[in-house]
Structure 1
Amino acid sequence: MNAPSPSPFPSLSAAVFARLARTRPDPAGLTLLGSALHTRRLLLLKALLVRVQRQRGSVDPAALGRFERSWALLERAETLRPAVVRDVLDYPSTGVWLAAALAEPAGPGFDRLLARLDALALTAALRCGGALDLTVETPDGLLSLPGVGRLRVAAERVRFGADDGTVRVHPDGSRRPVPAGLTLVDRVRGVLAGHGPGWSAVRRLPRGGARLDDLDPYRVPAGAGGASVGTAADHADTDHPAWSARWRSARELLLRTDPGRAAEVARAVSVVVPLVRRGPRHLGATLSAAPGAVLTSLPAEAQGMAETLVHELHHSKLATLHELVPLYGPGREALHRVGWRPDPRPVAGVLHGAYAHLALADLWRRAVTADGVPRSWRSGAGQQFDDIHDQVGEALAILLESDELTAEGREFADQMRQHHASLGATPLAAG
């Protein structure tokens, strides 16, 4: 069984590096970050395979057999439609699962995590089309197909049979299919449609390919990591029309304020994960293991959603870039005060916060003079710009004086400083 062969990390030109640092939308930069993400995902998948092969004596034989069978299925699917398999592997929750599996010590917990490859391989195979006869474990009566949906069955094993794009789902040992099914409705893009009372779909957000994922068990990490970003909202409690309306209005606001920024969000944000609100404060988060996903509670207004998308997208961009070109070194414990948080932050937190808030300052600067945006947005953006512009300036001074950044990190911070200075070069017009 061979691992997928990752290509080397893509080269990063000085011009693209500078444009990424200045937070302005850059299609070439997004393309490069997407390639880096996929390469990283393949490397992690290969690392998991190597670990399983080296520790096969400690892996439950049944779990090992299922893992190897699913790996082979994934390889076969890749020969049919590489782009579809890439979409499955690059899905944000795949990164969360890989991070959890690679960190889990040998034992029953690791064996259970290996079973997730069944869902990935099955999803890829179903989306690629062709004949299929596969039985998978469903110990809790649920099977999650990443990016597609969730199937509920009253069985611990389910057999999938597929031919000519029609999928039949049978509980183990039963000749009668469950009252739910899947159909391949678009062979080119590998789009599956589900039906029946046992099926729940991951819904698409309007005007683009982004998904509202309130189903995937790996959309928020388990344990302490999940608690740090918030509690995932349950599918039954998610107001899907409200989320779609807020997404649509935020996209429209971004389009009127900054068309380039709107296009960047449409291209780079692939998943929105609803979080349960904690008190009156709005929550927004990203996961370094899951670039492209924005975790957020439902903002009250369009501007709140627009700001969250821009802010969290830049955390994702920086996390992916740091994997490609390290911007700071590991293991330093110095803490620094920043204006936007009450608690002191390590240099990584200062850089991430300054970068995301610099993008917001750029957005608010443009909102002040944009045509066709609500007057409340213009006036509020002007005040927010004034506050955050000063705070980002203070954070950049910390970064530029720090010895914790790499040479590339110092260049990155200097490019940020230049863009920060340009935003304050002219007075803001009253909204």
Structure 2
Amino acid sequence: MWRSEAADETIESAGGLSRHQLPWTDFDAVARGEGGPEPVRKLRAAERSRRLLLLRGLVEVSAKSEDSYRPLPSPEIAWELLARVERTAPHALETILAHPYTGTWAGYTTRLCRQDITGVCPFWVHLGHLHCLAAAAAVRGEIPFEAELPVWQGKAALPTLGIAQLRTEAPFSVARIRGSRGRVEISNSRSRVRLPANLSADTPGWLGVREAVAWSDDRRLLVRIDDLDPYRGLYEPIRPERLSPVEIESWRTVLADAWQLLTRHLPAVAEALPVGLDSLVPEPAVPFRLPSASTGEAFGSAIISYGEDPAPLAAALVHEFQHIRLGGLLHLVRLNHDDPRERLYAPWRDDPRPLGGVLHGIYAFFGVTSFWRALAAAEPDNELAAFEFALWRGQVWRTLTVVRADESLTAAGRRFLDGVAEKLLPWQKESVAGAPRTWARLAAADHYAAWRTRHLRPDPGTVADLAAAWRAGVARPDSAAAALSEPSPTPVPDGDWHDARTDLIRLRLGVDGRARFAAHGSAVPGATEADLRFVAGRADEAAAGYRQLLAANPDDPAALTGLGLALAARSTGPAARALLHRPELVRAVHRLLREESRSTPSVEAIAGWLGRFTH
């Protein structure tokens, strides 16, 4: 059983300490992606107490120095208002404490305070957000109050409710808010905004936070679609990015469809997810992709780009819910010792990752795998679902197998990964149709080879020996064994790369895939004519196209990998092996030969030679 000291369960007694407990049974259930809503409630309770500690710490430290909060009143005033809300309308306080961006703000501002830096705004503006939180709680609790709020570029925020837009020429200023008998006004010297009775509505000077409600039988998903809160981003405060009425309705529609998929195909996850997800930050659509993100400080929030297809959105919701669960768990228990080195390959990222990031990715994509597995089983003709299942079950298992032996894991971390493995291992043996399985294997090889090309640097001495051996016509040089050594990755990439071929594969395998591939394939960012030929199944034509690209730029990571894939589609010859398993070595040797001689062999020739003794 894991325990964590945290703040007591009230504002007024926040100086006291209690213990949050998570039994091993709950820990193991979370690791397996199971357990229902109860473990999530326990994680949320611990997160509430953590936020109280951060809030109280900020108040105690900053109240000692007027320079930290002027021209606003002392943060003690905001704390006292929160205490009033707790006494008269505790539900309103709970809503504000549970708000994901209360956590983001508390973590961000605490770091500013400890590091003695200002951040995006003057420090008093960040610290003054506590007054915004207290005022929002008072508005929700319908208690009479007065307060002063920080104003950023004319915007005064009431978290969970909306923002008031005031006239001001100053980038940072102060406004007054008054609430009495159901009437709330925010004003400065030049303007006055009265909040509407329906706070989610837009009225002159007011933009309300809107919601989406999705039903599937008796199961409900209720989330705020928050495009206003200044602390809704990943790293630092951001300005409002208002969705139009058409855009908000489009989000509601696709969320409803995604919720139907989740409740139908992953009912256990759908039972727990509404307890852990209450806010969604909408991002603009990204062509042919659906990126998403979250942060451990914003328990309950997911940042997701818009897409019209509900299946990828459902997968993204599961993905971010996994991050939310693990983020909450990590506030109670350490799964790994501190190790910031960017040293591990993660198939879902283009850069090397530290162990902690890889653990998050394993757990998130374990959830993604479970969704696509369920959808593929329910829809046997859905080639895209089968491809996604085959791709991610292999990628997650490959990464988990490497990480389970890492010395930086704690005992709890190994136990956690054992729980993931318990569910994931049997999935490796499940049947997947031939074409999706083949495309998944190629997509995995594509990503890994491109990552090696960009982030591994072969030993210069070995490269020089191999180049000399090539010039001397040696079939198997003495340095052949040294060529098999694995260099440590560097986070600095050598060359650009777009994962365009995998985007094209998804386009081809989706609904009306062949027609959509023919119509829209050339619009996929980064896709070349050779890529289109490869995904169309014309490997020989693709290989010719990649040779032309390499003749113009022999260092192009995408063309190097593409040639390897095209050659491998016809045979498993030495050039294909080298280009897919030692591409960084092929490029390094070819690069040195180019520098030393006017007459340079082709990349394919070097790959064919190296492939005879590197595997």
Question: Superposition pairs for residues 232-271 of structure 1, below 5 Å?
Answer: 234-236=241-243, 239-271=247-279
Match of 2:187 among 171, 180, 199: 171
Question: How far apart, in 2, do the equivalents of 1:170 and 1:14 lie?
Answer: 49
Question: Do the aligned partners of 1:233 and 1:274 also contact (CA within 8 Å) in 2?
Answer: no
The 1:7/1:212 distance shift into structure 2, 3 A limit, reads farther
Question: Do the aligned partners of 1:21 and 1:412 also contact (CA within 8 Å) in 2?
Answer: yes
SS at match of 2:20: coil
Paired position in structure 1 for 2:408: 404
Paired position in structure 2 for 1:297: 305
Question: How far apart, in 2, do the equivalents of 1:79 and 1:61 lie?
Answer: 28
The 1:347/1:215 distance shift into structure 2, 3 A limit, reads same
Identity of paired residues, percent? Answer: 26
The gaps in structure 1 that reach 5 residues or longer are 186-191
Match of 1:56 among 65, 72, 75: 65
SS at match of 2:349: coil
Question: Superposition pairs for residues 20-419 of structure 1, below 5 Å?
Answer: 20-24=30-34, 26-53=36-63, 55-56=64-65, 58-63=67-72, 65-104=73-112, 105-106=115-116, 109-138=122-151, 140-154=153-167, 157-164=174-181, 166-169=182-185, 171-172=187-188, 178=192, 180-183=194-197, 192=199, 196-207=203-214, 208-221=221-234, 225=235, 234-236=241-243, 239-277=247-285, 280-333=288-341, 335-370=343-378, 378-419=382-423
Q: Which structure ranks higher in relative contact order (CA pairs < 8 Å, sequence separation ≥ 6)?
A: 1
The residue identity in structure 1 corresponding to 2:42 is: L
Paired residues, number: 409
Question: How far apart, in 2, do the equivalents of 1:424 and 1:255 lie?
Answer: 24
> CA shift at 1:423, angstroms?
2.8
Question: How far apart, in 2, do the equivalents of 1:169 and 1:226 lie?
Answer: 28
Question: Do the aligned partners of 1:233 and 1:275 also contact (CA within 8 Å) in 2?
Answer: no
TM-score by length of 2: 0.62
1:54-96 deviations in Å (ceiling 9; x for gaps): x526425443x34221111111111122232121022111112
The residue identity in structure 2 corresponding to 1:110 is: F
| Greater Rg over alpha carbons, structure | 2
The 1:279/1:117 distance shift into structure 2, 3 A limit, reads same
Out of 249-258 and 360-369, give the one that drifted further: 360-369
TM-score by length of 1: 0.86
The 1:247/1:151 distance shift into structure 2, 3 A limit, reads same
The gaps in structure 2 that reach 5 residues or longer are 1-10, 215-220, 437-615
The residue identity in structure 2 corresponding to 1:29 is: P
Question: Do the aligned partners of 2:200 and 2:207 also contact (CA within 8 Å) in 1?
Answer: no
1:325-346 deviations in Å (ceiling 9; x for gaps): 1111113426111333332221
Question: How far apart, in 1, do the equivalents of 2:263 and 2:236 lie?
Answer: 33
Question: How far apart, in 1, do the equivalents of 2:143 and 2:21 lie?
Answer: 36
The residue identity in structure 2 corresponding to 1:4 is: A
Question: Do the aligned partners of 1:362 and 1:423 also contact (CA within 8 Å) in 2?
Answer: no
Question: How far apart, in 1, do the equivalents of 2:151 and 2:288 lie?
Answer: 38
Question: How far apart, in 2, do the equivalents of 1:429 and 1:206 lie?
Answer: 36
Question: Do the aligned partners of 1:268 and 1:292 also contact (CA within 8 Å) in 2?
Answer: yes
SS at match of 1:365: helix
> CA shift at 1:392, angstroms?
1.2
Question: Do the aligned partners of 2:376 and 2:385 also contact (CA within 8 Å) in 1?
Answer: yes
Question: How far apart, in 2, do the equivalents of 1:233 and 1:394 lie?
Answer: 40
The 1:6/1:314 distance shift into structure 2, 3 A limit, reads farther
The residue identity in structure 1 corresponding to 2:180 is: D
The residue identity in structure 1 corresponding to 2:154 is: G
> CA shift at 1:202, angstroms?
0.7
Question: Do the aligned partners of 2:69 and 2:75 also contact (CA within 8 Å) in 1?
Answer: no
Superposition RMSD in Å: 2.8
1:371-414 deviations in Å (ceiling 9; x for gaps): xx6x66x4322221111111111111122101111111111111
